Amino acid sequence: MRTSTEFFGFYQDPFKRTPDVEFYYPTKMHLEALDTLSYLIHSDEPFAVLTGEPGTGKTITIKKFINELPQKPLATGVEDMRLSLAGAQDK
């Protein structure tokens, strides 16, 4: 059985756990996210959250944004977060 990389003729795997910005594809939604992040940086907002379904390009969009900044900011990200409401109910 061939891998997807072999099947599609890619020179490297574009579907890694941590995406490579070399494979970034700028959809309208991603460009809007980049514009919003740019606005937040230039307006001195201290915090931003980018949300979306798994596989929609949140991580790669943030990485692309940070790579294109003239100065690298202090940034952090959560790449795999699972929220649970178990135990969060009022007793």
Segment 45-87, tens digit of pLDDT:
767 888 888 888 888 898 898 888 887 766 666 665 565 555 5
pLDDT on residue 10: 81
**pTM of the complete model:** 0.67
Q: How far is it, in rounded angstroms, from Cα 30 to Cα 37?
A: 11
Q: How far is it, in rounded angstroms, from Cα 3 to Cα 16?
A: 13
Residue with tokens 């990389």: 5
Residue with tokens 């072999």: 6
Q: Identity (one letter) of the amino acid at 80? A: D
pLDDT on residue 17: 75
pLDDT on residue 75: 61
What tokens appear for 52 in the block? 């979306």
Across the chain, what does the average pLDDT equal? Answer: 79
pLDDT on residue 29: 93
What is the Rg, in whole angstroms, of the alpha carbon atoms belonging to the chain? 17
Which stretch of DSSP H or E encloses residue 5? helix 4-8
